[in-house]
Amino acid sequence: MDRSRTWLRQGSAWLQAAVALLYVGVLLRVTVLKFPQLLMNQDWQPQSLMLQWRFAVNPVPFRTIAGYLAGEPSAGIAVQNLAGNVLIFVPWGVLWVWCRAHRARAAVVVGTALVASFVLEVAEFLLRVGSFDVDDLLLNGLGAFLGYGAARFPWRRRFRARTTGC
Protein backbone atom coordinates (compact mmCIF):
# COMPACT_ATOMS: atom_id res chain seq x y z
CA MET A 1 0.00 0.00 0.00
CA ASP A 2 2.83 2.41 0.81
CA ARG A 3 4.50 1.84 -2.56
CA SER A 4 1.32 2.61 -4.46
CA ARG A 5 0.80 5.84 -2.52
CA THR A 6 4.41 6.89 -3.15
CA TRP A 7 4.03 6.14 -6.84
CA LEU A 8 0.77 8.09 -6.99
CA ARG A 9 2.37 11.07 -5.24
CA GLN A 10 5.33 11.00 -7.62
CA GLY A 11 3.02 10.71 -10.63
CA SER A 12 0.93 13.54 -9.31
CA ALA A 13 4.03 15.70 -8.81
CA TRP A 14 5.08 15.08 -12.42
CA LEU A 15 1.60 15.93 -13.66
CA GLN A 16 1.50 19.09 -11.55
CA ALA A 17 4.91 20.16 -12.86
CA ALA A 18 3.90 19.47 -16.46
CA VAL A 19 0.65 21.43 -16.13
CA ALA A 20 2.43 24.33 -14.40
CA LEU A 21 5.11 24.46 -17.13
CA LEU A 22 2.44 24.34 -19.82
CA TYR A 23 0.61 27.22 -18.14
CA VAL A 24 3.80 29.30 -17.86
CA GLY A 25 4.50 28.62 -21.54
CA VAL A 26 1.01 29.77 -22.53
CA LEU A 27 1.35 32.81 -20.26
CA LEU A 28 4.63 33.81 -21.91
CA ARG A 29 3.25 33.21 -25.39
CA VAL A 30 0.15 35.32 -24.76
CA THR A 31 2.00 38.18 -23.07
CA VAL A 32 5.66 38.57 -24.01
CA LEU A 33 5.97 36.43 -27.13
CA LYS A 34 2.75 37.53 -28.82
CA PHE A 35 4.58 39.35 -31.63
CA PRO A 36 7.83 37.41 -32.20
CA GLN A 37 8.71 39.42 -35.32
CA LEU A 38 8.90 42.60 -33.22
CA LEU A 39 11.58 41.05 -31.03
CA MET A 40 13.97 40.92 -33.98
CA ASN A 41 13.81 44.62 -34.86
CA GLN A 42 14.54 46.47 -31.64
CA ASP A 43 16.03 49.96 -31.40
CA TRP A 44 17.77 50.15 -28.03
CA GLN A 45 18.67 53.84 -28.22
CA PRO A 46 18.03 55.78 -24.99
CA GLN A 47 15.96 58.37 -26.84
CA SER A 48 13.55 55.77 -28.20
CA LEU A 49 13.21 54.16 -24.76
CA MET A 50 12.35 57.55 -23.23
CA LEU A 51 9.76 58.19 -25.94
CA GLN A 52 8.30 54.74 -25.29
CA TRP A 53 8.23 55.48 -21.54
CA ARG A 54 6.19 58.60 -22.20
CA PHE A 55 3.52 56.88 -24.30
CA ALA A 56 3.57 53.22 -23.20
CA VAL A 57 3.51 53.40 -19.40
CA ASN A 58 0.55 53.91 -17.10
CA PRO A 59 1.64 54.20 -13.44
CA VAL A 60 -1.76 55.54 -12.28
CA PRO A 61 -4.04 52.87 -10.77
CA PHE A 62 -7.51 52.53 -12.31
CA ARG A 63 -6.83 54.99 -15.17
CA THR A 64 -7.04 52.35 -17.90
CA ILE A 65 -9.81 50.43 -16.12
CA ALA A 66 -11.90 53.60 -15.89
CA GLY A 67 -11.41 54.21 -19.61
CA TYR A 68 -12.44 50.65 -20.42
CA LEU A 69 -15.52 50.90 -18.21
CA ALA A 70 -16.43 54.06 -20.10
CA GLY A 71 -16.24 52.06 -23.34
CA GLU A 72 -12.95 53.49 -24.62
CA PRO A 73 -11.60 52.79 -27.18
CA SER A 74 -14.52 50.44 -27.89
CA ALA A 75 -16.69 48.11 -25.84
CA GLY A 76 -15.23 45.04 -27.54
CA ILE A 77 -11.63 46.00 -26.84
CA ALA A 78 -12.55 46.98 -23.28
CA VAL A 79 -14.19 43.62 -22.54
CA GLN A 80 -11.36 41.74 -24.22
CA ASN A 81 -8.67 43.52 -22.19
CA LEU A 82 -10.50 43.50 -18.86
CA ALA A 83 -11.61 39.87 -19.09
CA GLY A 84 -8.35 38.74 -20.66
CA ASN A 85 -6.20 40.25 -17.91
CA VAL A 86 -8.36 38.65 -15.23
CA LEU A 87 -8.81 35.25 -16.88
CA ILE A 88 -5.16 34.74 -17.83
CA PHE A 89 -4.22 34.60 -14.13
CA VAL A 90 -7.12 32.47 -12.85
CA PRO A 91 -5.05 29.31 -13.48
CA TRP A 92 -2.29 30.84 -11.35
CA GLY A 93 -4.53 30.68 -8.28
CA VAL A 94 -5.87 27.24 -9.12
CA LEU A 95 -2.37 25.84 -9.71
CA TRP A 96 -1.08 27.23 -6.40
CA VAL A 97 -3.82 25.42 -4.53
CA TRP A 98 -3.31 22.22 -6.50
CA CYS A 99 0.51 22.16 -6.42
CA ARG A 100 1.21 23.84 -3.09
CA ALA A 101 -1.89 23.30 -0.99
CA HIS A 102 0.03 23.69 2.28
CA ARG A 103 1.43 27.08 1.17
CA ALA A 104 -1.60 28.31 -0.70
CA ARG A 105 -2.77 31.34 1.24
CA ALA A 106 -4.61 34.12 -0.54
CA ALA A 107 -1.89 36.67 0.24
CA VAL A 108 0.86 34.38 -1.06
CA VAL A 109 -1.05 33.50 -4.22
CA VAL A 110 -1.92 37.11 -5.03
CA GLY A 111 1.55 38.33 -4.05
CA THR A 112 3.32 35.87 -6.33
CA ALA A 113 0.88 36.69 -9.13
CA LEU A 114 1.64 40.40 -8.73
CA VAL A 115 5.38 39.74 -8.87
CA ALA A 116 5.01 37.53 -11.96
CA SER A 117 2.71 40.08 -13.58
CA PHE A 118 5.19 42.87 -12.84
CA VAL A 119 8.00 40.87 -14.48
CA LEU A 120 5.81 40.23 -17.54
CA GLU A 121 4.81 43.90 -17.78
CA VAL A 122 8.44 45.02 -17.59
CA ALA A 123 9.41 42.44 -20.22
CA GLU A 124 6.58 43.62 -22.50
CA PHE A 125 7.79 47.20 -22.13
CA LEU A 126 11.49 46.47 -22.64
CA LEU A 127 10.88 44.15 -25.58
CA ARG A 128 8.35 46.62 -27.00
CA VAL A 129 5.59 44.11 -27.49
CA GLY A 130 3.21 45.89 -25.16
CA SER A 131 2.95 48.60 -22.57
CA PHE A 132 3.49 48.70 -18.84
CA ASP A 133 0.16 49.30 -17.15
CA VAL A 134 -0.36 49.11 -13.39
CA ASP A 135 -4.00 48.26 -14.05
CA ASP A 136 -2.88 45.02 -15.69
CA LEU A 137 -1.18 44.13 -12.40
CA LEU A 138 -4.40 44.77 -10.50
CA LEU A 139 -6.50 42.73 -12.92
CA ASN A 140 -3.97 39.88 -12.94
CA GLY A 141 -3.97 39.85 -9.13
CA LEU A 142 -7.77 39.74 -9.16
CA GLY A 143 -7.64 36.78 -11.54
CA ALA A 144 -5.23 34.89 -9.27
CA PHE A 145 -7.47 35.61 -6.29
CA LEU A 146 -10.54 34.34 -8.17
CA GLY A 147 -8.65 31.19 -9.16
CA TYR A 148 -7.58 30.69 -5.55
CA GLY A 149 -11.16 31.16 -4.37
CA ALA A 150 -12.53 28.76 -6.98
CA ALA A 151 -9.98 26.11 -6.02
CA ARG A 152 -10.67 26.55 -2.30
CA PHE A 153 -14.46 26.55 -2.70
CA PRO A 154 -15.95 23.36 -1.22
CA TRP A 155 -17.35 22.10 -4.52
CA ARG A 156 -17.61 18.50 -3.38
CA ARG A 157 -19.78 19.33 -0.38
CA ARG A 158 -22.06 21.58 -2.44
CA PHE A 159 -22.73 18.95 -5.06
CA ARG A 160 -23.11 16.13 -2.52
CA ALA A 161 -25.68 18.15 -0.56
CA ARG A 162 -27.76 18.74 -3.70
CA THR A 163 -27.69 15.13 -4.82
CA THR A 164 -28.70 13.77 -1.42
CA GLY A 165 -31.60 16.16 -1.08
CA CYS A 166 -30.20 18.06 1.92
Domain count of the fold of the chain? 1
Omega within 30 of 0 (cis) for the link into 61 = no
Percent of the chain clearing pLDDT 70 (strictly above): 75
Provide the Cα torsion 29, 33, 35, 40; round to 10°. -150
Q: What is the pTM of this model?
A: 0.81
Percent of the chain clearing pLDDT 90 (strictly above): 55
User: Helix and strand tally (H, E) in the chain?
Assistant: 9, 2
Give the H/E segment covering residue 133.
strand 132-133
Which structural domain, as residue segments, surrounds residue 16? 2-34+43-163
Instruction: Please state, rounded to an integer, the average pLDDT across all residues of the chain.
Output: 84
**For residue 25, what are the β-bridge partners?**
none
* Per-residue pLDDT at 48: 63
CA 63 to chain centre: 20
* Per-residue pLDDT at 103: 79
- Say whether pLDDT at 29 is over 80: yes
Query: Phi/psi zone of residue 71: left (φ > 0), alpha (ψ -120 to 50 degrees), beta?
Result: left
